[in-house]
Structures are given as C-alpha cells and as structure tokens.
Homo-oligomer: A and B are copies of this chain.
Amino acid sequence: MEFTVRAAKPEDCKDVCRMIMELAIYEKMQDQVKISHKELEQDGFCANPFFQCLIAEVPELHKSKEGHTKVGYALYFYTYSTWKGRSVYMEDLYVMPEFRGKGIGKALMSKVAVVGKEQQCIRMNFSVLDWNTPSLDFYLAKGAQDLTASEGWHFLRFDGEALDKLAEEAPKN
C-alpha cells in the first residue's frame, strides 16, 4: 500500500491525540491518558520542543473505515547516555490495526533511526510491556536488545505526592 512518512505539523495533533488513545487502549492503560491535542501542540511546537513526531499517511482512496488518512505515528525525543553520548528515545510507535502488516510501523521506526543518526545519536531506546509479545518479537527480530532481560535495568518513577515531597525537601541554597 502506498503511504508517506513525514514530520508532524501542529494541525496533526488532533489525529496524534486520537491515536495515542487507541494505543493506550491496546496497552490496557487508557485510564492513564490525560493529554489533550492543545497540550501536544504547545509542547511539541514551541521554541525548544519537548518531543518530535512523524506521521504515516495514506491517500484518500485508502482511508480508514472512519475516514482517517493519518494512520500511524512515531513520537520521539533526544536523551543522553553518560557512557556513550547522544541518544534518541522512541516514546510511541503506533499503526492503526487495519493498516498493519504493510511495512508502515517499520518505516516509521526506520525514519526515527535516520533522524537520530543525523543528530549523531548512537542509540535508539524505547520501552515495551513484557506481555506484548507481538511487539517484543517484532523489535527483537529487527536486532533490538532487551536491556531489562540482559542487564537487569528497572524503570522507576516519582510522581504525585512522592514527587511533591521530594521537591519540598530540596536544600534552599
């Protein structure tokens, strides 16, 4: 199927927001989504954007049952390894179910790799849920390493009251 991959524009944020929710439903975590397209517009298209995004688009002719032509996205940002330097982190990779198996996910992911390499990134990192074996298998088959399995890295977080308390206890100097 014919499709194109291009950088997202502010006017794509409504579709990105729709697909973020579709991905969260697939991950069984839709109750955690609190983002709006306005917030995405503000955070992704400011002077120092917090993220960048690629959109996969099909021609009108191949639009989805509901009439969508924007059928996938990859959202990423730059991170840093104190061992190896510049890295790119792919936060989300999503393709609508009826458009899977056509190379769109692979194309999005490859484009993130290209953009990362253009910025001299030596790594592309991302996270996957352990029960999501179709995705895990897809990534491992493409040569990804599972650092949690091989080295024992665990992902930790402070949020809500724990984050507030931590900030309150900071030295005042």
Contact in complex: A81, B91 (CB < 8 Å): yes
Looking at chain A, what size class is its interface with the partner chain? 35 or more
Given known contacts A91-B79, A117-B163, A170-B114, A130 and B144 CB-to-CB distance under 8 angstroms: no
Closest Cβ–Cβ distance, residue A26 to chain B (whole Å): 13
**Interface of A (DSSP majority class):** mixed
Given A124-B159, A130-B152, A146-B156, 9 other A-B residues pairs in contact with their CB atoms under 8 A: A5-B171, A20-B83, A29-B151, A80-B91, A82-B92, A123-B163, A143-B158, A143-B166, A153-B155
Contacting residues, chain B, for A136 (C-beta < 8 A): 154, 156
Task: Identify the A interface with B (CB < 8 A).
Answer: 4-5, 20, 23-24, 29, 32-35, 39-40, 43, 48, 50-51, 75, 77-86, 89, 91-92, 106-107, 109-111, 113-114, 116-117, 122-131, 136, 139, 142-149, 151-159, 161-167, 169-171, 173
